[in-house]
Amino acid sequence: MAERHSSDSSEVEREDGPAERLSHLSTFSRQATYAPTYSLMVRRLRIILPAVAVLTVGIVVLWPKIHSLFVQPTQTTNDERQAKMVNGRYVGSDSHGRPYTVTYDSALQPPGGGPIEMTNPTAELTLQNGHWVAVKAEQGRYDQQAGLIDLSGHVELFHDDGYRFTTEKAHVEFNKNLVWGERAVVGRGPRGEVVGRGFRVINNGDSIVITGAARLLLRPDAAQMPQPEEAKK
């Protein structure tokens, strides 16, 4: 029995011994193969990763300059740089607190401020004696700081006494309660028609003076027509 057991043990040792040795040899062989490759990859990554990081930071810092080299800035015209307003209204008061308004279809103002160029403006103001005057035109240049609007292109002036004047240019000075023009003017009203070289609304709106050479055409019944104040009663 003892001899048999000893014989079995020696057989097991002979069977297991070579297998274990082959396994160890295989492990050592793989380690010998992979160790240099792994070390080389690690060394390369130690160089590549910092380089990529530095390159990324450099691109981020220098991107505005790089972008400007390839993208040309868009050139804008003077009209595009102006602030455009549509269907607006300016409301103010003159030096004596009397109200006035300026309305328009469209307007352009330079970026730095200054006079406003208007299309189809209408200026309305209340004169010192309470009369109302409105002036409309095709074009206007409104200087809000100076309280002045210059109107041009088929200017029409309306007075609440029933008079209407047409000319090519007119000026409204809100702070002075003054409306005037120096171009040929035609006026029509309840008492007739007048033609002249210019006009001025004076005496706080009580009088409209036609300047230069003038021609007056009265209606036949103008003398019998009631005064505007009487007609309102």
**Does 48 share its domain with 128?**
no
**Does 55 share its domain with 83?**
no
For residue 32, is pLDDT > 70? no
As beta bridge partners, residue 170 has: 151
0.75 exceeded by the pTM? no
pLDDT digits (tens, 9 = 90+) for 183-212: 999 999 888 899 999 999 887 777 888 988
**Does 173 share its domain with 160?**
yes
**Does 51 share its domain with 155?**
no
Q: How many domains does the chain have?
A: 2
**Does 106 share its domain with 169?**
yes
- Structural domain boundaries enclosing 59: 1-73
What pLDDT is attached to residue 160? 86
**Does 66 share its domain with 108?**
no
Name the domain boundary from 56, 73, 90. 73
Name the domain boundary from 73, 92, 115. 73
10 confidence band (pLDDT: 50, 70, 90):
very low
**Does 207 share its domain with 144?**
yes
pLDDT digits (tens, 9 = 90+) for 138-176: 999 999 888 899 999 999 999 888 889 999 999 999 888
**Does 36 share its domain with 130?**
no
**Does 155 share its domain with 222?**
yes
**Does 86 share its domain with 50?**
no
**Does 17 share its domain with 113?**
no
For residue 142, the domain's CATH number is 2.60.450.10
Name the domain boundary from 32, 50, 73. 73
Give every CB contact of residue 172 below 8 A, 6+ residues apart in sequence.
123, 125, 135, 148, 149, 151, 178, 179
Q: Provide mean pLDDT across the span 118-137.
A: 90
**Does 64 share its domain with 17?**
yes
